[in-house]
Structure formats: C-alpha cells, structure tokens
Structure 1
Amino acid sequence: MTRRSAHADGGVALDDARERLWSAVHGGDEHGAVAVVLDAARSSADLEAVLLDLIAPVQAKVGVEWAANRLTVAQEHTATAIHERVIAALAHHPDHRTGVPAGPRVTVACVDGEWHALPARLLSEVLRLRGWNVDFLGAHVPTPHLIAHLHQTGPQAVALSSSIPTHLPTAHSAITACQATGVPVIAGGAAFGPDGRYARALGADAWAPHAREAATILEGGLSRPDPLAAHQAVDDLPHLADQEYTMVVRTTHQLVKGTLTELEDRFAPMRGYTERQRRHTAEDIAHIVEYLAAALYVADDELFARFILWTADILTARRVPARSLDPALDLLAVQLKDFPRACHALAHAREALRTRTPAQKIPGPGKPA
C-alpha cells in the first residue's frame, strides 16, 4: 500500500497538529513545522490526510490571516515557503517513499502567470501516493513549454491550476492548446469559480473543487479530445466578438491613469496621500481593471462584484476607506461609456457596494499579487 490507514483518533490528533503547525509557520519555524508534520504522518493519519487535512487548511488560514491584516506579506510568503519545504520533507522522508510509480502518467502545472503553486503541489503528492507517475511543472508555466512537454511525455491528462481569475484568459488558451494535442484537461483552483462554472465555460474536460475529487476523477479516466477539433476562444465564448474584453485590456494603462488623475477631485482624502499611498492606489485601480477584463472575458458580472466586495473588506481591514471604490468605479464607467457590458458590470458592482454590510465575509478571489 502507498498510504497508511488513519487511526481511530486521527481526527483529534490532526486538530492538535493543525494548532501546532499554525504556531510553527506563524512563527517562521521551519524545523518545528517539519517535526509536526512528520509526527502526524507517523502517529495519527495517512499521508493523504496529512497533506489535505493538516497542511492545506493551515495554508488556507494563512490566506485568511493575510486578508484580515493580521499577517504581513512577508509573513504570508514565509509561511507558504515553509509549507513547500514541509511537503518536500514529507515526500522524501525515507519512511514514506512510495517507490517507482507504476500507474498512468499525468502532468500537473499552473497556468502562465500563476505563482500560487501550493494547491497544484498538494495534488501532485496525492496522485503520487495513489501510484500515478506525476510530472509536476510548478508555477507559472508558459503554454508553449507546457505543450512541448506534452508532446515529449504523452500523459493521460493535464491538471491545470489557477488561483487568480485574471488568469482565466491564459487558462483558456492553455486548455484549448492541450486539447489540440489530444490530452484532456482537468481544471482546479479558485480562479475557476466555487462551482467550476468558468472551467466549464472555457471548455475544460473536467473540474474539481479539491485534490481528493481531482484524483478520483482522474482515476475514473477522462476521454481524450479529438486533436482535429481545434477551435478558437470565440467558439467557446461568442460574446468576445464584441471586442470589449480586448479593448479594456489594450487600454488598461490609460484607464488607470485617467481614473487616478480624476479621483483626487472625487475623493478628498486622497489629496493628503503620501507617494506610497498614491502608488498603492494606482495598483488597486490596476487590479480593478484587470478583474473587470476577466469578468468581460467570461461574461459574468458576479466575478467582478465579488472582487470589489473582497477589495472593500481588504481596504477596511487596512483602515483605508472603502468608499473610495465607488468614485473609482464611476470614473471607469465614464471612460468606458461606449462599452455596454463593461458599464453593466461596473453598475452591478457599485450596487453591491451600496448594499454591502461592512466586514461581511466575502469568499476571496485569491490575492491579486
């Protein structure tokens, strides 16, 4: 067997282990984190449970604490790096090696531009435990390199991961390119929506909300697509023919500059901003435009509204007035007055802001940086 059976008290043991692992990663204690995980692997649960019921939820807490402004960016990065090292220690510990994989081959990769590789790494280790021959390509894999790898290795499937919705257009290109080689794609990660709606819209062969289900779907087998049935993005998403997405992407710099220039007149506190605060404001506006473009790509106003509400909560946690978002959205609408879908998305987000309950719990779209 490649996995150990959980003890009857495994759930209780993992509860305690989660607390200890959180304390270790929060304190930047890599050795302590490794000790917690290896102890859990020896005494309380199978390796898959250690990966998905111990490491994964603690990493999720890292994201929650960052969003609540209780962790700095540096602390969040440190915690994530520790978890990556912990997974490596678990995978290569002499007591827990799975031996030479005899199962089918699968490629696991993050889409181009996606740097949040931990979810994909967790899936890779789960599949290895289940006997798969896994090629884990890591973060930020340019599509041409991914396709070259598929031609060289001929896997049975590709598991494509993305956490940030602004990468959906790139994910779409990667999905269609993989399918053109005859390799099916299973998509996963927060970028594809809580119910996988964007994975389906982009033509993925399957979607899974978490690593266990992804592994189960892959074990059930995916039908190979017909390489001769290659198609363009507009075939999956006919609304792209209106060119709104393309024009917003092409004019992002002008949109950000125009909004920033006029925002000071609309939002008086900005007149006292430091240079650093102005730089952060420009970055926030750029993220807003990027998410608007992503919403236009998949024709879903809710994607944009969710991001705006999440941003409002982030700003509130950092003691920045969330009311600054409304004039910024209005200024974008003025500049995009000839784009009906963009204006509708902006109006929908403004209404969501108007009816927002402060500090309400908004499912995060993933950190935009």
Structure 2
Amino acid sequence: MTVSTTTPPRSLDDPGLGDRYLRLVGDGDEYGAIEIVTALLDNGVPPARLMLDLIARTQRRVGELWATNDWSIAREHAATAISERALATVSARTPVRPTRGRITVACVDGEWHAVPVRIIGEILRLDGWRVDFLGANVPGPHLVTHLHQTGPDAVALSCMLATRLPRAHAAITACRSVGVPVIAGGPGFGPDGRWAHRLGADAWAAGAEGAVQRLARDWPPQIDDPYQTGFLGDDEYTYLVRHRGELVSTAVTRLTAAYPPMSGYSQRQHDSTVEDLGHVVDFLAAALYVADDLVFTDFVGWTARVLEARRVPPVALQIGLTLIRDQLRDFPSAVAILDAGVATLRE
C-alpha cells in the first residue's frame, strides 16, 4: 500500500511518504512538497522530526542519486532549493522565543553545502537559542567581525568536505582567540570529529540533536590558549598548495599518453578530468595538513564509486594518482598517502 498522491499525509509513518516527497522535489514540484510539510505540521508532527526524518533524509537521498549519476547536477540543485523552502515553511510556522543564549551558525569558508547547517540552526532555534544563521561560504575575517558585533555564546561551524579543513582551522582559531567557543559538525571533520579536536574545536556533534545535547551540558567550556593548536601543516603541505596548478597541469598532459581513451574526450570530459585531478591534490593537501591518510583514502574510495557510475574505470583514477606521485618523489609523506590511495583502489 502506498500513500495517494492527493491524500494529505497524517504521519511520517505513512507508507510511501518518503518516496512521494522525493518524487515531488525531484520533479521540481515546490507546491506539492510544501503541501506535504504543511499537512504534517497541521497533524501535529513535531517540527524537529519533520526536518530530520523527512527533509534531511530526503536531501541525503538526493545526494546519493547525484553520486550514482541518476540525477543531474541541475536536478539536484532544484531539489535542494525546494528543501530550503520547506525548511523556511517549518520555521515560519514554529516561532519560538529565545530563552537560552545566542549562537552563530555558519559554514566554513569555501563550503557551499548550507542545508545541513540550516537544519542545525533551526533545531537549535526550537531549543530556545537565538540563532544568527550566516549560511554558506563565510570568510573567516567576516565571521570574526560578526562575533565582535553580536557577542554570541558559541559558534556552530559546519564542514562537509575535508578539503576545507585548513580554512576551518583558521576560523576555529580566530573564534577562540576572541573568546567564543566553537562546536564543530559535519563529515568534513572526520569520523567521530577526530579532526575537529585536532584543529582546536571545543566540542563536536554528529548532528543537530547531538549539538543540542552538547550545548545543554557543561557549556561554555573553558577556552585554553587557542594558539596551542594554531599551527598545523608542514613543508610538504606548503609545497603542495603553492604548486597545485603545476601538479595538475603536468598530470593532465601526461595522462593523455598514459590513458589512451582520454584522447577521445570531449571538452566537457576533459574539463571534468582537470577538476578531478584538482580534487586529488586538494584532498592530499588536507591529509598532509592533519597528518592522517584517512582523509585521502576515504576520498579515493568515494571518487572511484562516483566515476564508475559515470563509466570511468578505476584504472583511470589509479593512473592519475600515479602521475601526481611521480611529481612528488622527494616528499615521503605525500608519497605514502598516495600509495595508500592506490592500495584502496586495488582493494
């Protein structure tokens, strides 16, 4: 039994509700999606559960459909826009007076995945916090200016991709240097937030509910000297960042000879290859920055699955890693991380 396409849903447990809502956002049917959200609120579904168990869960499925090449980037973007409108609907229908304190919620500089952090901000608002939601891609200096202007009790900082860890580190250090503690979240900080702690964050939360629980106890924490964790990276990391363009362009030039199918690539495929090799260098740099090859091996495994869904064999990625490695023979840490990536592909 499935939910009728016209019957208003009464509960999140209605059979087929998730698939129905996914179809609506996938078809760009904003009105239909908002009608479902409104009907659920009218039937007493708690707004936090609506955001976490329907909107956020659907958004994760949208990302998976893009990764498996079932949805285009345009379709994924359109669905994401509807998710943002659905969140706005929930927010407008559930006003809550602040009773706890003030918190700034933002994505790190260069991070564009704003829906997850928007959900965190909404859940904190429902818990009684006064939330300043700054959205995606917040440059560190502008974040600190905002802290001086508003004096919040905490900053919730989101990082979805590990390539943003150096910028996240700069933001965390800057926030703590002006006396504002940081709670970090997002998969970019690694399993169990291992890299968040290395970068100096005062706390880490796996999701919105974890953030609510963490902020409800022993907060604010005592802030130690922020510069104890203020300096990471080494000569290899610095070299990689400064020579990124050269490493990528040389690898692209050599890849044409090492991987014959590339000679038949269209301009779009060629540009995608350049972008993918750029990601290789960026994730390698992030792994060097936090001294953990898991940053890189996780990226390699995920990329191999995405490329395979686009009919690009893993051997193409392996050759790309080797061509980057050949340029870094004098950098033992980088070579070791690249070798771990190649081993991940072989496994």
Provide TM-score, normalisation by structure 1: 0.88
Structure 1 residue ranges without an equivalent (≥5): 1-8, 356-369
Amino acid across the alignment from 2:270: R
Q: Which residue of 1 aligns with 2:106?
A: 109
Amino acid across the alignment from 2:250: G
8 Å contact 1:18–1:55 — kept in the other structure? no
8 Å contact 2:293–2:340 — kept in the other structure? yes
Q: CA deviation at 1:136?
A: 0.6
Amino acid across the alignment from 2:251: T
8 Å contact 1:305–1:349 — kept in the other structure? yes
Matched, 1:80 2:72: no
Amino acid across the alignment from 1:272: G
Partner residue of 1:318 out of 310, 315, 321: 310
Q: CA deviation at 1:352?
A: 0.9
Count of residues in Structure 1 that have an aligned counterpart in Structure 2? 338
8 Å contact 1:21–1:37 — kept in the other structure? no
Spell out, residue by residue over 1:226-245, the C-alpha distance to the aligned partner (whole angstroms, 9 max, x if none).
48x2417564x4xx2x3111
Amino acid across the alignment from 2:20: R
Cα pair distance change 1:132/1:319, threshold 3 Å: same
Find the aligned partners of 1:161 and 1:323 in 2 and give their Cα distance: 34
Spell out, residue by residue over 1:244-284, the C-alpha distance to the aligned partner (whole angstroms, 9 max, x if none).
11110110000001101111111111122222221111111
Q: Which residue of 1 aligns with 2:227?
A: 231
8 Å contact 1:103–1:131 — kept in the other structure? yes
8 Å contact 1:180–1:225 — kept in the other structure? no
Q: Which residue of 2 aligns with 1:97?
A: 95
- Between the aligned residues of both structures, percent identity stands at 49
Q: Which residue of 2 aligns with 1:62?
A: 62
8 Å contact 1:184–1:222 — kept in the other structure? no
Q: How does 1:322-337 map to 2 (within 5 A)?
A: 322-337=314-329
Find the aligned partners of 1:195 and 1:281 in 2 and give their Cα distance: 32
- Please state whether the residue corresponding to 2:192 is helix, strand or coil: coil
Q: CA deviation at 1:216?
A: 1.1
Cα pair distance change 1:80/1:26, threshold 3 Å: same
Amino acid across the alignment from 1:12: D
Q: Which residue of 1 aligns with 2:264?
A: 272
Matched, 1:257 2:252: no
Cα pair distance change 1:283/1:171, threshold 3 Å: same
Q: Which residue of 2 aligns with 1:152?
A: 149
Q: CA deviation at 1:306?
A: 1.1
Q: CA deviation at 1:285?
A: 0.5
Matched, 1:138 2:131: no
Amino acid across the alignment from 2:227: H
Q: CA deviation at 1:221?
A: 4.0
Q: CA deviation at 1:31?
A: 0.6
Q: How does 1:198-209 map to 2 (within 5 A)?
A: 198-209=195-206
Amino acid across the alignment from 2:61: K
Q: Which residue of 2 aligns with 1:30?
A: 30
Find the aligned partners of 1:221 and 1:72 in 2 and give their Cα distance: 45
8 Å contact 2:68–2:309 — kept in the other structure? yes
Spell out, residue by residue over 1:303-353, the C-alpha distance to the aligned partner (whole angstroms, 9 max, x if none).
101111111111110112221111111111110111111000000110111
- Which 4+ residue blocks in structure 1 deviate beyond 6 angstroms? none
Q: Which residue of 2 aligns with 1:49?
A: 49
Q: Which residue of 1 aligns with 2:13?
A: 12
Amino acid across the alignment from 2:38: L
Partner residue of 2:285 out of 285, 293, 307: 293
Find the aligned partners of 1:348 and 1:226 in 2 and give their Cα distance: 36
- Please state whether the residue corresponding to 1:249 is helix, strand or coil: helix
8 Å contact 1:165–1:192 — kept in the other structure? yes
8 Å contact 2:287–2:293 — kept in the other structure? yes
8 Å contact 2:106–2:136 — kept in the other structure? yes
Spell out, residue by residue over 1:17-71, the C-alpha distance to the aligned partner (whole angstroms, 9 max, x if none).
3222111101110011111111112225211101111111000000011001111
Find the aligned partners of 2:99 and 2:343 in 1 and give their Cα distance: 55
Q: Which residue of 2 aligns with 1:5?
A: none
RMSD, matched Cα: 1.6
Matched, 1:128 2:125: yes
8 Å contact 2:103–2:154 — kept in the other structure? yes
Q: Which residue of 2 aligns with 1:213?
A: 210
Q: Which residue of 1 aligns with 2:177?
A: 180
8 Å contact 2:200–2:226 — kept in the other structure? no
Find the aligned partners of 1:252 and 1:225 in 2 and give their Cα distance: 39
- Please state whether the residue corresponding to 2:45 is helix, strand or coil: coil
- Please state whether the residue corresponding to 2:132 is helix, strand or coil: strand
Spell out, residue by residue over 1:166-206, the C-alpha distance to the aligned partner (whole angstroms, 9 max, x if none).
00000000001100111110000110113211111111100
Partner residue of 1:340 out of 329, 332, 346: 332
- Please state whether the residue corresponding to 1:220 is helix, strand or coil: coil
Cα pair distance change 1:90/1:223, threshold 3 Å: closer
8 Å contact 1:67–1:317 — kept in the other structure? yes
